[in-house]
Amino acid sequence: MQDDAIVERAKHAILNMALGDVKKASAGGAKMGAFILAACVIDYLACLYAGHDSNATIFRDFVRQFFDDKRYDPDDLWDAIRCKLLHSYTVKEGKYAYTDNNPQLHFKQDKSGRTYINLEDFVSAVERAAHNYFALVECDPQVRCRLIKRIKSVGILTVFEPEF
């Protein structure tokens, strides 16, 4: 596959398929599933950005560089969402409370000190970060090269048609 085709397939896989699944999970009532899938999207974008497997530093750097809303603390996203929610299916006591269809609560802190993250706002932030990343891919040859390297190494989300 040619490099331009790899970039286009990556864009489609992230912007349409992966983020599409996040939105379908949310619309279908799998709210925590949507948060988890959104964390997966961030982690995968961080891998593409780095050109290799993600780790705490790469994940945090991706959030710092591509999230427009700086209220998203990279350390908190790594710990509370990527590690606790995604990998342990737990909520870190005292950090975040997850809600949906409550934009007025987004980033509000309650009396216990928990910060509310509204699903729809979070998904929009992840989607904007993805668009910001792909805009950089278009104008930065090194970032583009790392994306291509990563996809050649591990592949990209694809729906295959049966070939019998």
pLDDT tens readout for residues 141-161: 999 999 999 999 998 888 788
Rounded to the nearest 10°, the torsion over CA 37, 55, 149, 11 is 30
The closest alpha carbon to 128, from 62, 67, 83, 54, belongs to 67
Q: Which residues of the chain have pLDDT under 70?
A: 92, 94
User: Is residue 116 helix, strand or coil?
Assistant: strand
